[in-house]
Amino acid sequence: MQLFSDFNIRNVSFKNRIVMSPMCMYSCVEQDGKITDWHQVHYASRAQGQVGLIIVEATAVQPEGRISPQDLGIWTDEHVVGLTKLVDLIHENGTKAGIQIAHAGRKALTGERAMAPSAIPFDEQMDTPMEMTLGDIEQTKEAFIAAADRAKQAGFDVIELHAAHGYLLNEFLSPLTNKRTDDYGGSSENRYRLLGEIIAGVRERWDGPLFVRISAEEYHPDGNHLADYVAYSKQMKAQGVDLIDCSSGGVVPYPIEVYPGYQVPLAETIRREVDIPTGTVGLITSGRQAEEVLRNGRADLVLLGRELLRDPYWVHTAAQELGVDIEAPKQYRRSWGVR
């Protein structure tokens, strides 16, 4: 079964193709961005459940870049201690650890005025963000690079840049949210510039697997569409990005028709046209569904969100469904009925 086969990138081997998708848990009760006991239990339980890779939730590179005050952070060296302990817990269970580093842009709700490429609010309920100066852009770029350094110190196996769901890097990419007239706006080349500079800066410091999550379809007729993200993905590949994590939407309020596997064709197209590994996410609920995606070459990794919130041992559930014998944690062998 492809779902339970190894997957290798840059000498990092995942024991299966099942990934815990990054999902904000809004659980930093002290609002300091630091790992808590809750985070350790939350992520370690999924590692004990035999997920191949866990990507820790969107972790802010700057305090003003948090989606909420309860978000995780990686903007100071003080965050490294807790993140290191979390990585160690994940590794103890034979699972690889990734982290999604992020900036919320105009969707930040920290009590301070948000920043964005252009002074355009997300909707009528949200405040108008400040248009970033060139100095702001430079500081944010350096914050992403410093966050990659800290992720390396903490022992993570994978870094993912969050360029999806209408957060800052996605805002720069999209013509819906980027109305700048300088080198960071206008043409698609200029709108890609910030992400490209961050990828280049991170790649100078980080030699491990580098993923980028994108909203490969923005749905609004005036936004970016799949063909635009195929072109962007070719640029990412040329810069040394190893995998494109394909999600969609979130740039502007716009209706999306969702159904099981609705984002799989996005990953499939980018995988085929760019010749780069992809991950797919979104209403993937069963082992058979995940196996079909992989066996038909539609993606290389399957990312699960809500299913792993409902069932930390979804890997075992899928193995039973597919009739596969997997290695169980030694403490659970009597109940799992497998090796």
pLDDT single digits (tens) 28-67: 999 999 999 999 999 999 999 999 999 999 999 999 999 9
pLDDT tens digits for range 230-239: 999 999 999 9
Task: At 251, list the tokens.
Answer: 């740039």
Q: Which of 261, 239, 157 is nearest to 194 (CA)?
A: 239
Q: Which residues contact 106 (CB under 8 A, 6 or more apart)?
A: 114, 115, 116, 120, 121, 122, 126, 129, 166, 168, 171, 177
Task: At 228, list the tokens.
Answer: 């635009």
* AA letter at 239: Q
Average confidence (pLDDT) over 63-74: 97
**pLDDT above 80 for 337:** no
Round the average pLDDT of the chain to a whole number and report it. 96
The pLDDT, as a whole number, for residue 335 is 84
The pLDDT, as a whole number, for residue 334 is 83
The residue to which tokens 């609920």 are assigned: 285
Q: Which of 123, 211, 136, 147 is nearest to 180 (CA)?
A: 136
Task: At 155, list the tokens.
Answer: 């022992």
The values of phi and psi at residue 99, to 5°, are: -140, 135
pLDDT tens digits for range 151-185: 999 999 999 999 999 999 999 999 999 999 999 99
pLDDT tens digits for range 237-295: 999 999 999 999 999 999 999 999 999 999 999 999 999 999 999 999 999 999 999 99
Percent of the chain at pLDDT > 90 equals: 94
Q: Which of 93, 81, 75 is nearest to 35 (CA)?
A: 81
Q: Which of 19, 22, 21 is nearest to 3 (CA)?
A: 19
d(CA 167, CA 282): 18
pTM of the model: 0.96
Q: Which residues contact 155 (CB under 8 A, 6 or more apart)?
A: 84, 87, 88, 91, 97
Q: Which of 234, 221, 218, 223 is nearest to 270 (CA)?
A: 234
The pLDDT, as a whole number, for residue 338 is 60
Contact 114, 67 (CB under 8 A): no
CA distances from 278 to 57, 77, 85, 269, 273 (A): 19, 31, 29, 10, 11
Q: Which residues contact 266 (CB under 8 A, 6 or more apart)?
A: 216, 217, 226, 229, 246, 248, 280
Task: At 244, list the tokens.
Answer: 């494109």
The pLDDT, as a whole number, for residue 236 is 98
Average confidence (pLDDT) over 111-119: 94
**pLDDT above 80 for 192:** yes
Q: Can you name the residues that pair with 269 across neighbouring β-strands?
A: none
Percent of the chain at pLDDT > 70 equals: 99
**pLDDT above 60 for 339:** no
Domain 2-336: give its CATH superfamily.
Aldolase class I (3.20.20.70)
**pLDDT above 80 for 117:** yes
Q: pLDDT confidence of 111, banded at 50, 70, 90?
A: confident
Beta strands in the chain (DSSP E): 7-9, 12-14, 18-20, 53-60, 96-102, 115-116, 130-131, 158-163, 210-215, 243-247, 278-281, 301-304
Q: Can you name the residues that pair with 281 across neighbouring β-strands?
A: 303
